[in-house]
Structure 1
Amino acid sequence: MSLDISPAARDALARWLDHERALNGAAANTIRAYGRDVQGFLAFLADYHGAPTGMAHLRAVGLRDLRAWMAHERNRGIAPRSLARALSSVKGFYRWLARQEGFDPSPVLAARAPRFQRKLPRPLSEDAARAVLDDMGTGASTGWVAARDVAVATLLYGCGLRISEALSLTGADVPLGEVLRIRGKGGKERLVPVIAPARAAVQAYTAACPHQLTPEAPLFRGVRGGALNPRLIARAMEGARARLGLPATATPHALRHSFATHLLSAGGDLRAIQELLGHASLSTTQAYTAVDTARLMEVYEAAHPKA
């Protein structure tokens, strides 16, 4: 941390991060991002005021300080999306700090995040998603590796898992039942229904895998028996993408997007899809409604006789 941040301020930040880790179950990557964001803000305050940032400075921060910080970050080329995330981190720190120190955090909480255009998910069509699952193991070096790649891809599309969630499964999870307990972002657990093709794909992999799948060890393995690197699934997807002539947006995560979009198109309930995906906020899931509407308009414009 910067030497221009007082020991008391450093300690406050460390205690907040411990709180987020222990009580809110924030993931390690999230904790690191929070720390970078708030540390950057505290270092800016020290430079802005020409004095080390102490607790008295933190209590006195006003809207003008927040605006100056955001202007500084924009001048450094920080993207609006990243700046909005950093501001969210700072606000989270201040909510906690205000409770600890007994001051009013309203000037900080009143700061508005910069507007930015949210990127819409880029799902595959239903035909393309099926084609990927059929093709996924084509470039594999051995039959069991092919079965592995197909099993992982089927979990992403058939169950809406993140790649990290699929690769976090262990030998204790097989054979798969009708429901899978997944620990997602922030350590939050959810129950995900497992469709028959996903169970069959994982069963085919476990039957072919040459490595012992003990309960405590990773389910999906690399060629040498270690935990499967997600980059290998990305490479397998790149091969399928090239063979099928799909765009660069056809990534492993696009299979999860496809799961959500196709469920919504089939009449799935938005709240239910939110729970299946493990989204903390419904607004995140609502992005798929925009995708569905955009596709509907494409069909309309292509098919309407007056278009």
Structure 2
Amino acid sequence: MERFFGIDVGGNHVKTGIVDKNGEINDFKSHATADLRKDGRFIENLCDVITFRLINHKEIKKIGIGLPGTITKDRKAPIEVTAIPEINGMPMYDMLKKRFPDKEFFLENDANAAGLGELIYSKTDLPDTFCFITLGTGIGSAAVIDGKIFKGGDGNGLELGHILSRNNLVLEQNIGKAGILKLIEERLRDYNGETLVSRTEPISATRTVVAASQGDDFAKSVFFEVGEMLGEGLVALIRIMDIKTILIGGGLSAAYDFILPGAKSIVETRLTPYYTSALDIRLASLGNDAGLQGAAALCFE
């Protein structure tokens, strides 16, 4: 069975692995993004990682790479990668081909790649038209329509995290990792009741999820508010795209059970029965493997 090299580039880590057509990941390794950014040579250092990894996998012919930002329509160069701005405008595809002339490379936005991973490897029955939302450090989004990734007019459509949200901020600023930490801090300052969320230790989203899972009313109220803001974004997404199956993934999906009620309270109020009667919001099935599996799936014929 043919296998592919998947690379999932993130702001904190670059995940790599050998993936087969059944989605099985072998020889997984994670590299600190900060280490690869040393001396402003991210692409060159990534090439070194690829060289080292291929020593034991000489049979690999195709390499898929998911990037956390916008890329050119021909999928050859990053345009705006906020987490690694020094690579913006660099001819990444050409640099990779120069270093590895006998390999094929496939570059894509990371959320699009993860959506493709869900399409191909989903562990549940999934229609061939759906939206995929990642909640984590940022907010990523992708749409699959009739089995194909929707790319928009110039290749970078569906940036849900950058639509206007509450407080004159974009959605990512409100419910990305930094936004949630700020929200917890602000709500805790005004909360006089008992809570498992510490007022003396640094604010932690993970500990707040744990508190919510233990029935903490304050923690649950924070994630309900996060859900409301997500729901407002979903209303716009569903109205514009007319897609009624929504998958939620990413690191913050651990709080899915506490975010969903707030999101549902908004979408069920603001959408008509045409949308709500068929609406299916669910947890993505691949977890943290979606990005890596999707990067490898870019290599499929």
Q: Considering the TM-score relative to the shorter chain, is it more than 0.5? A: no
Q: Which has the higher contact order (CA 8 A, sep 6+)?
A: 2
User: Which has the larger share of helix?
Assistant: 1
When normalised by structure 2's length, the TM-score is 0.29
Identify, as 1 or 2, the structure richer in strand.
2
